Amino acid sequence: MNITKESIDALNAVVKIEISEADYQEKVTEILKDYSKKASVPGFRKGHVPFGMIKKQYGKSVMIDEVNKLIQDSLNNFLTEEKLDILGNPLPKMQDDFSWEEKDYSFEFELGLAPTFDVNLDTKKKITEYTIVADDALINKEVENLQQRFGKMSAKDVIEEGVNITGVFVNEEKEIEKKYSFILDDVKGKTNQKKFLGSKVGDVLELKSKGLFSDEHKLMGATGLGHDEVHGLEIPLTFTVEDITFTELADLDQELFDKIFGKDIVTSVTELKEKIKEDAEKQFQSQADQQLLNSITEYLIENTKFDLPAEFLKKWLAVAGENPLSEEQASEEFEKSEKGLRYQLIEGSIIKDNKLQVTFEELKEYAKGFIKSQMAQYGNLDPAEEELENIANRVLGNQDEAKRLQEQLMSGKLLEFYKEKLTFKSKEVTYEDFVKEVYK
């Protein structure tokens, strides 16, 4: 057997595999002899079927299987030994005159090679790093939300100021039929609020989606549509009132503080607001970090220049999935996935060059922290170490879950690396301003 590589250019190559009868015949004969020992053929005792009969019946299919196995193993070994960094998978070149009736065969495979490039971390244009602060308006709103959540609820006959409203939003064209609860104050503007005021259970209101809620995230909840879909959405909606309630706000006393945080952890309104601010800003930090990582990703893609074996990748995409794609569909798929592929290569280069890695112990500790935070949401604030260890082992025993956690942990390591190596423009904003700037 002979394997050679011909370079077409820096990003494309062809591997040629030449196989002679001597490379596969011994294995084929061995398999056919084993068949003859086990085959059950009428007129012959088991194990005494003539080898010639077995060869005539099964010889070609066994030979084809063995040649294909030999090709795959040889190609994989060649790629490993030659340290070829390929994109996608090798693509076999079609041969019009190929025939399995021959004894010697020649196969060719097209390769798309990963480009070589340098990642420049000297940012000419500084990336904005946001620090999101919880302002007084947000903190006071959260205090009121807590009072509402733990307040005493009573039914109301009609919609009036300060009530909670539950009902079903419908739009047939968009196939919307969504039950949603909100307060009257969520509705934007006096004109819209007047449509609700005085309504009773069972009433059907005619509304418009545009400008219905002060916060577009509320419209997402009311329609079940995604963020991009509700942006600028202008459709008619009907709303059927199902429930009207009023919540008497809970007193800001020690009983309420203990219900929310545990006994004597918070002992005053001042401490309550400090705790709300601390918890909110922890959550905001993860959002700010994700936004920073997104901005860095975009910067690196735009400022790290290299070519890709585009035509090869389009051909590979056409046959890689369960259903073949047309040339046009494969081209569209390449355009959609190109940015992701570019960042994947950039990220891989950064990880390799800077020896970033995730050890199993780090992964287990990360899994424990993730599990502990989930348990805390259900009131278990101090789980035993043995319990955490057992759950973490079960979680990491699931390959998909282990991979997901490993990717999250590596993403965190990359962000730490970027924060050390890149320079940023710092900007302190409220959460409201952050949303306006980032998701405008």
**Which of 248, 282, 305 represents a domain boundary (last residue)?**
248
Distance, in Å, from the CA atom of 245 to the CA atom of 70, rounded to the nearest integer, reads 73
Number of domains making up the chain: 3
Enter the tokens of residue 88: 């996608």
| pLDDT at site 379 | 74
For 336-379, write each residue's pLDDT tens digit.
Answer: 999 999 999 999 999 999 999 999 999 999 999 989 988 887 77
**Which of 65, 92, 113 represents a domain boundary (last residue)?**
113
| pLDDT at site 393 | 93
Claim to verify: residue 318 and residue 405 sit in the same structural domain: yes
Claim to verify: residue 17 and residue 98 sit in the same structural domain: yes
Claim to verify: residue 14 and residue 64 sit in the same structural domain: yes
pTM of the model: 0.75
Is 103 part of any domain?
A: yes
- pLDDT of 127 over the 90 cut: yes
| pLDDT at site 192 | 93
Which domain CATH number covers 303?
1.10.3120
Claim to verify: residue 172 and residue 319 sit in the same structural domain: no
Which domain CATH number covers 37?
3.30.70.1050
Distance, in Å, from the CA atom of 137 to the CA atom of 134, rounded to the nearest integer, reads 8
Average pLDDT, the chain: 92
pLDDT band (50, 70, 90) for residue 232: confident
Query: Residue 367's closest CA among 343, 338, 321, 398?
Result: 398
Claim to verify: residue 216 and residue 355 sit in the same structural domain: no
The H-or-E segment that residue 74 falls in is helix 51-81
Claim to verify: residue 237 and residue 297 sit in the same structural domain: no
Q: In terms of pLDDT, which residue wins out, 48 or 133?
A: 133
Return the minimum-mean-pLDDT range out of 5-9, 235-239, 381-385: 381-385
**Strand pairing category for 236-248 and 176-183:** unpaired
State the angle between helix axes of 385-396 and 399-421 in degrees (0 to 180), rounded to the nearest 10. Answer: 100
Judge contact between 206 and 192, C-beta under 8 A.
Answer: no
Is 129 part of any domain?
A: no
Claim to verify: residue 206 and residue 163 sit in the same structural domain: yes
Which domain CATH number covers 220?
3.10.50.30
| pLDDT at site 122 | 85
Is 359 part of any domain?
A: yes
Is 372 part of any domain?
A: yes
- pLDDT of 216 over the 90 cut: no
Is 262 part of any domain?
A: no
Distance, in Å, from the CA atom of 236 to the CA atom of 247, rounded to the nearest integer, reads 30
Is 353 part of any domain?
A: yes
User: Once rounded to an integer, what is the mean pLDDT over residues 406-415?
Assistant: 95
**Which of 84, 113, 142 represents a domain boundary (last residue)?**
113
Domain that holds residue 432: 269-438
**Strand pairing category for 152-155 and 424-430:** unpaired
**391 to each of 45, 205, 370, 387, how far by Cα in Å?**
57, 50, 11, 6
For 80-97, write each residue's pLDDT tens digit.
Answer: 999 999 999 999 998 888
Is 93 part of any domain?
A: yes
Claim to verify: residue 106 and residue 183 sit in the same structural domain: no
Judge contact between 186 and 226, C-beta under 8 A.
Answer: no
Claim to verify: residue 394 and residue 320 sit in the same structural domain: yes
